[in-house]
């Protein structure tokens, strides 16, 4: 079979292609919602600002003013889109939901930006979604075959279609009808003319919390957004729970069969903000413990521990404290790198990392340096950082990853490259040390990660989903299975043609 024929066969069922030079892994999304408060859009903008780390590509707010819905969706950062003083005039009302986004399903154009809005028989509904549906393509195909017209390529729109088509009488029942057809990891917030609704997938893969702002309910992906708006943390929305908030208060529904929760362990490794408390655990404390355990598992004879900022900072601190070594900011991060800054010429592409990270020579020159990063995905960032630290005069460079080797892609809303591009899926630790040009390389063990989480690791009764490191996916992956089946069928046909 020719390579291009094979590539075409796979392409039909893969996500849209990316700029091949764009090595940045993608973030997922953040959601926020408030009900029955003054200046709901302004509060939502603040909440989204605190969730900016969960998606920097686009953002949107939908609100209801008692009569009408209003929606604004923009490419870019929350501050640029919603920082203006006239926000509550542009988007008036007492209830609102918002979304920050980096696409994990669907392309990057404005049609895919959320919240998505639909005018249903029963009234309007705005929906914001963090996560990824693993049976999205299958459902979409079925809906299209039945005559549905899609405005976007985002998996969230499927949920709106399923609600619209439900034959149940009441809105909440229709929503539940839709939820019972979707699979995957998700946290949803939805706004109707009467209600704010929050839903967490049956395993609680994606996070969602409930807060209280002077007696009014707030929903957010992370507690840092509650802190931002001055709301009190009430509790996590539980796995498989639907909270329905209206003038009568907060009602809790359980639309799914009861299951053991399996929240995503990568929220602690990389995604969540360190000042957030996710599923009852401080992200900062877990990351520091990851560093402590890393120091026990992979010690090194070095002069200084240096974090790869920002995400490597808590783990590097834990490592340094455990090992009794100095912790120094040997790399300084520039926080003002705009998304739109184009590197002047192709040849200067390597400057990319320096625009974001700069060596602090006074810390690095002549030293045996131990770098700590939170995780290594493709290794692109590590190659550049190690080179930069060597060029700044480090005598030795040792690298530690505060997460175990990432060997499996994610299908629940965290953007990761395919297995072929995951460094640790294709190389041994010794090979990785050579590729990254480090004097020694070390990863946290999976047991060590559980130790940091203060959780028992029992693969027979898992408490988290750790598929990145183990390949143990917590749900079936219907689209993937169908795509593989189709690709194999196409391959068989093509090889038959080639053989003939
Ligand atoms: P890489 O250069 O592909 O090895 O990416 C590793 C760097 O990206 C680390 O510094 C991580 O902090 C960060 N990272 C890890 N996972 C993700 C992700 N899914 N999205 C964005 N950045 C990530």
Q: Does 379 sit in the ligand 1 pocket, CB within 6 Å?
A: yes
Q: How far apart are the first and last CA of the chain?
A: 11
SS3 state at 59 = strand
- In CATH terms, the fold of domain 2-262 is 3.60.20
The answer to whether the predicted template modeling score (pTM) of the entire model surpasses 0.75 is yes
Which pLDDT value is given to residue 62? 98
Compute the distance between CA of residue 93 and CA of residue 58 in angstroms, rounded to an integer.
22
| Ligand 1 center from residue 376 Cα (angstroms) | 6
* Residue in this structure with the two tokens 């050579």, named with its chain if needed: 434
| H/E stretch holding 313 | helix 313-323
Which pLDDT value is given to residue 351? 62
* Residue in this structure with the two tokens 């914001």, named with its chain if needed: 128
Q: Any binding-site annotation on 236?
A: no
- Specify the ligand 1 atom closest to the Cα of 380: 2
- Specify the ligand 1 atom closest to the Cα of 383: 2
**Please, are residues 220 and 51 in contact by the beta-carbon 8 Å criterion?**
yes
Residues 6+ apart with CB under 8 A from 225: 30, 32, 47, 48, 50, 51
- Nearest of 215, 219, 206 to residue 252 by alpha carbon: 219
Which pLDDT value is given to residue 420? 95
Compute the distance between CA of residue 51 and CA of residue 279 in angstroms, rounded to an integer.
17
- Specify the ligand 1 atom closest to the Cα of 381: 2
SS3 state at 172 = helix
**Exposed e or buried b for every residue in 172-188, given b needs 16+ CB within 10 A?**
bebbbbbbeebbbbbbb
User: Is 63 marked active-site?
Assistant: no
Q: Any binding-site annotation on 374?
A: yes
Mean pLDDT by 10 residues, the chain (500 residues): 34 36 55 97 98 93 97 94 92 98 70 92 93 95 95 91 95 97 97 98 98 98 98 98 97 96 97 97 98 98 97 97 98 75 48 81 98 96 96 98 97 90 98 98 98 95 97 95 82 65
Q: Does 409 sit in the ligand 1 pocket, CB within 6 Å?
A: no
Residue nearest to atom 5 of ligand 1 (CA): 377
The residue to mutate among 23, 30, 270, having the most atoms of ligand 1 within 8 angstroms of its beta carbon, is: 270
Compute the distance between CA of residue 266 and CA of residue 464 in angstroms, rounded to an integer.
10
Residues 6+ apart with CB under 8 A from 216: 34, 35, 36, 37
Secondary structure of the chain: what % helix, strand, coil (to 5)? 35, 25, 40
Q: Any binding-site annotation on 373?
A: yes
Q: Does 130 sit in the ligand 1 pocket, CB within 6 Å?
A: no
- Specify the ligand 1 atom closest to the Cα of 416: 19
Q: Does 316 sit in the ligand 1 pocket, CB within 6 Å?
A: no
Q: Does 201 sit in the ligand 1 pocket, CB within 6 Å?
A: no
- In CATH terms, the fold of domain 278-452 is Rossmann fold (3.40.50)
Which pLDDT value is given to residue 10? 31
Compute the distance between CA of residue 147 and CA of residue 127 in angstroms, rounded to an integer.
22
Compute the distance between CA of residue 172 and CA of residue 174 in angstroms, rounded to an integer.
5
The residue to mutate among 54, 333, 375, having the most atoms of ligand 1 within 8 angstroms of its beta carbon, is: 375
Residues 6+ apart with CB under 8 A from 354: 388
**For the chain, domain boundaries:** 2-262, 278-452
Residues 6+ apart with CB under 8 A from 431: none
């Amino acid at each position: 079979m020719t390579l291009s024929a094979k590539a075409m066969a796979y392409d039909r069922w893969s996500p849209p292609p990316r700029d091949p030079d764009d090595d940045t892994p993608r973030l997922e999304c953040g959601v926020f919602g408030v009900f029955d408060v003054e200046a709901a859009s302004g509060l939502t903008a603040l909440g989204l600002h605190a969730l900016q780390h969960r998606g920097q590509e686009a953002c949107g707010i939908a609100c209801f003013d008692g009569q009408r819905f209003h929606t604004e969706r923009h490419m870019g950062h929350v501050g640029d889109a919603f920082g203006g003083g006239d926000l509550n005039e542009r988007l008036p009302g007492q209830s609102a939901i918002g979304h920050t986004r980096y696409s994990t399903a669907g392309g990057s154009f404005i049609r895919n930006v959320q919240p998505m809005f639909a005018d249903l028989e029963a009234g309007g509904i705005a929906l914001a979604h963090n996560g990824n549906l693993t049976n999205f393509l299958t459902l979409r195909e079925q809906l299209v075959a039945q005559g549905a017209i899609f405005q976007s390529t985002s998996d969230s729109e499927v949920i709106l279609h399923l609600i619209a088509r439900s034959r149940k009488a009441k809105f909440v029942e229709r929503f539940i009808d839709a939820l019972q057809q979707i699979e995957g990891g998700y946290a949803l917030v939805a706004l109707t003319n009467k209600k704010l609704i929050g839903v967490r997938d049956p395993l609680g893969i994606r996070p969602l919390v409930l807060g209280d702002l002077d007696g009014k309910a707030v929903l957010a992906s992370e507690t840092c957004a509650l802190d931002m708006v001055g709301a009190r943390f009430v509790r996590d929305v539980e796995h498989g729970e639907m909270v329905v908030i209206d003038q009568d208060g907060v009602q809790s529904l359980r639309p799914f069969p009861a299951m053991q929760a399996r929240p995503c362990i990568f929220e602690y490794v990389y995604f969540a903000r360190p000042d957030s408390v996710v599923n009852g655990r401080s992200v900062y404390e877990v990351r520091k413990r990851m560093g402590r355990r890393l120091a026990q598992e992979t010690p090194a004879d070095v002069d200084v521990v240096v974090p790869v900022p920002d995400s490597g900072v808590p783990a590097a601190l834990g490592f340094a404290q455990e090992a009794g070594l100095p912790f120094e900011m040997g790399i300084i991060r520039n926080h003002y790198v705009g998304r739109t800054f184009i590197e002047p010429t192709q040849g200067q592409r390597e400057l990319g990392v320096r625009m974001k990270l700069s060596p602090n020579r006074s810390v690095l020159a002549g030293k045996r340096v131990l770098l700590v990063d939170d995780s290594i995905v493709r290794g692109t960032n590590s190659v550049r950082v190690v080179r930069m630290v060597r060029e700044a005069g480090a005598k030795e460079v040792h690298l530690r990853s505060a997460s175990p080797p990432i060997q499996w892609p994610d299908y629940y809303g965290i953007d990761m490259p395919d297995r072929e591009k995951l460094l640790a899926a294709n190389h041994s630790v010794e090979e990785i040390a050579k590729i990254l040009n480090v004097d020694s390389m070390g990863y946290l063990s999976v047991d060590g990660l559980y130790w940091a989480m203060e959780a028992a690791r029992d693969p027979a009764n898992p408490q988290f989903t750790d598929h990145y490191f183990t390949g143990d996916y917590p749900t079936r992956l219907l689209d993937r299975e169908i795509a593989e089946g189709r690709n194999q069928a196409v391959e068989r046909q093509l090889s038959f043609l080639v053989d003939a």
